[in-house]
Amino acid sequence: MKIPASEAPSAVQTVLIPEDLAGQRIDNFLLTRLKGAPRTLIYRILRKGEVRVNKGRIKPDYRLKAGDSVRIPPVRLPEPNEPALVGRGILQALEASILYEDKALIVVNKPAGLAVHGGSGLNFGVIEAIRQLRPEASGQLELVHRLDRDTSGCLMIAKRRSMLRHLHAALRGDNGSDSVTKRYIALVRGRWPATTKRVHAPLQKNNLRSGERMVEVDADGKESLTEFRVLQRFGDFATLVEAQPITGRTHQIRVHARHAGHPIAGDPKYGDDDFSQKIKELGGKRLFLHAASLRTELPDGAVLEISAEPGQMWDSTLARLTGYE
């Protein structure tokens, strides 16, 4: 069921949530409802309590229930004739990066440096661009999960609410689901030992005064587990590893790699500046973390397996590292 857009977005809106929107996060609902509203605005009106559900304040991660009454305050939205936020070149590149598409799901090979959504000073991200590429489905398009801005690789975008609910359940492991298996590749400092196959260390989010989010290993943090496997060694200088996050914490692979003593190349937050500079001098001007593959079961029982190549810069940098072997 599609909720009709308000004819007067400058007025307070009260929306009764239908059954097919149950389970969606309130922040994602507002981003779809208030088409074109900056993400920073969405979180500001949530933080200030201007958005109410059943007359009560809620957090951005609140999941809507059928029958919820949502109060939306007046906000200014872009006019229909305002220019598109996303340039043609980026749209063409993103179209070419689509790895899989059916009536309910899109999987793209997200480029490094492109955020998954706008906000925090960014006018747009992958989801805004995909909504522009697929205007007929823009009201339903939602990110299934997220990747850091500087991480490349497989990113799922649901085109239907039923697919979004199914994949969210799979990610949580609900109903005995086999979950979504995601595998990453990363170039790390030093010689990763074959004996280090798991990093099991709790992670805690911290926000610095600048507003920058950092994650640290902390005994009071959430349980976090990443499995690692050595793919290729470049002497004692660097190692290419495969990383499979068993849990899904923010910056998990990056922090766990550093915790193991092998930070990822090109990581401005958790990396080693000297190591990253040496990789940069070899042509590697990026974060060397790539979501290389994913596997999941679709609602009809079919198994979807997708892989994504990391790109020419990645390949050429590794080719130059062969002299360290």
d(CA 211, CA 226): 27
Q: Give 238's strand partners.
A: 189, 234
In the chain, the DSSP E strands lie at 13-16, 52-53, 69-72, 98-101, 105-110, 142-143, 152-158, 181-189, 198-200, 203-207, 213-217, 225-234, 238-245, 289-297, 303-307
Residue type for 130, please? I
Active site residue: 27, 68, 148, 267, which one? 148
174 is catalytic: no
Within 10 angstroms of residue 40's Cβ, the number of other Cβ atoms is 12
Distance (Å, whole) CA 295 – CA 107: 11
| CB contact burial 86-118 (16+ within 10 A = b; e otherwise) | beeebeeebeebebeeeebbbbbbbebebbbbb
Q: How far apart are CA 103 and CA 113, in angstroms?
A: 28
| Contact residues for 311 (Cβ-Cβ < 8 A; gap 6+) | 111, 112, 152
Q: Are the beta carbons of 238 and 189 closer than 8 angstroms?
A: yes
Which residues are known to be catalytic? 148
